[in-house]
Amino acid sequence: MTVTVRSLETAVPPTILIQPVARDVFAAQPGLTRLGQRLVRTCFDGAAIDTRHTAVAEMSLDFAGPDPTFYDGASGLLLNPTTKERNDLFASEASALFIECAAKALAAAEGLTAEDITHVVTVSCTGFFNPGPDYKIVRALGLAPSVQRYHLGFMGCYAAFPALRAAKAFCDADPQAVVLVVSVELCSLHVRTSNNPDTIMGSSLFADGAAAAVVTARELETTGTFLELDHFETVLTPVGEDSMAWNIGDHGFEMVLDSYVPKIIDEHIVGALEPLLASSPLQGLPYSDIKHWAIHPGGRSILDKVQSKLALSEEQLVPARETLRNFGNMSSATVMFVLKHILELPQQSAREDICAMAFGPGLTVESALFTKVGSPSSPPTETGELVTAGHA
């Protein structure tokens, strides 16, 4: 019995942040020291991000609503809403994204309907409300009221892996189970102006997005590409507890993202992968021989360290770097965007290995092995002859 992801879909809010424009807004805030201004420019320019999305419509350049709460476009001032005001916006905007992305994933799952869903697992670390997103999804999609519901809250950037691992466990226990996993993170609700390097770093990286997957062990016909969920592992590094954290303050959630994090990952990533690969046919192979790498792009320097330490090629980092460039760091949803990018790459063989990992508070390293399954793409033809250049 094999547990598979039958569909994987993503969604983002409509308001787009263009990185240089956002940089200039943050750099122009009153109260910044000269060092703070330099840090803003350095962090934003070095983030390897072009665009991000935000649920804060006030951040749109053409927003003209009255009484702004987060950003006053007329004066160019970033405001300082309370945690309640930020969380109220989370409740309304996250609910819509949870429902939208869940509906997309369900519609894309061949051979399955709302009546088939037996479990819902929701994920977020950027806000709270109850009845929660699991409840909202059940009601909006017309799922059975008996559907089992679980919410993984406040775990951070690695939380998609525990969610998928839980879905696999449900399906291993019941081969007829169909699990809907949905992650929504609205990180931009918590950005603020500050001279604090951690806060500036977070403001330059974090963004909003949603991802959803339908997971089952049922044997179903499919015409597309899907993922097999093979194995998961969790490792806590021996250092780093204070280097990455997510605290609740009076004016939003406060991110701690120490510049030491890439060094911790550099020193401990090989050890973190050992238990994942120990019982796998991939054990002992050079890391570069593993076809695909779904690395959570916590930041450009993290990707640089992983690539260098594991001797991965530029091509193997493309899904992570492109996700970072186009969407920023969307916390737990981000690695799902990377996996979707990999799923949409041309299939070169019927089965292709994926090694995936994400990092979060603790410092926690979550990793997983997946298999991408599908029909190999036909190579292009020219005047009836096969053209094989560029194909492995």
Exposure string of 14-24, with b = 16+ CB inside 10 Å and e = fewer, is ebbbebeebbe
**In this predicted model, what pLDDT tens digit does every residue of 319-357 receive, in sequence order?**
999 999 999 999 999 999 999 999 999 999 999 999 999
Give per-residue pLDDT as tens, 376-385: 975 544 433 3
- For the chain, report the end-to-end CA distance as a whole number of angstroms: 30
**Mean of the pLDDT values across residues 244-261?**
84
270, 195: one domain: no
pLDDT at residue 255 greater than cutoff 90: no
Give the whole-angstrom CA distance, residue 210 versus residue 59: 19
- Is 381 within the bounds of a domain? no
Of 28-32, 238-242, 364-368, the one with minimum mean pLDDT is 238-242
From the list 327, 289, 89, the residue with the least C-alpha distance to 208 is 327
Is 312 within a domain?
yes
Question: Of the residues 186, 216, 246, which one is the last residue of a structural domain?
Answer: 216
The enclosing domain of 361 has a CATH number of 3.40.47.10
- Predicted local distance difference test score (pLDDT) of residue 379: 54
**What is the DSSP annotation of 291-346?**
SEEEE--S-HHHHHHHHHHHT--HHHHHHHHHHHHHH-B-GGGHHHHHHHHHHTSP
Same domain for 248 and 283: yes
Per the structure block, which two tokens stand in for 213? 């997957």
Query: Identity (one letter) of the amino acid at 290?
Result: I
Question: Which H or E run contains 277?
Answer: helix 261-277
pLDDT over threshold 60, residue 233? yes
Catalytic residue among 157, 171, 187, 355: 157
Decide if pLDDT at 392 tops 70: no
For range 60-87, the mean pLDDT: 92
Angle 132-257-287 from CA coordinates, rounded to 5°: 95
Of 14-23, 104-113, 288-297, 373-382, the range with the lowest mean pLDDT is 373-382
Range of the domain at 125: 4-216
What dihedral angle (degrees, nearest 10) is formed by the CA atoms of 332, 127, 361, 279?
Answer: -40
Distance CA(89)–CA(79), nearest Å, equals: 15
Per-residue pLDDT at 351: 97
Q: Is residue 390 part of a domain?
A: no
Q: How many domains does the chain have?
A: 2
pLDDT at 101 over 60: yes
% of the chain surpassing 70 pLDDT: 96
Please say if 157 is a catalytic residue.
yes
Mean of the pLDDT values across residues 165-182?
Answer: 98
Closest CA to 8 of 319, 312, 304, 378: 319
Per-residue pLDDT, 391: 28
- Tokens 């250049």 belong to residue: 389
In a domain, 387, yes or no: no
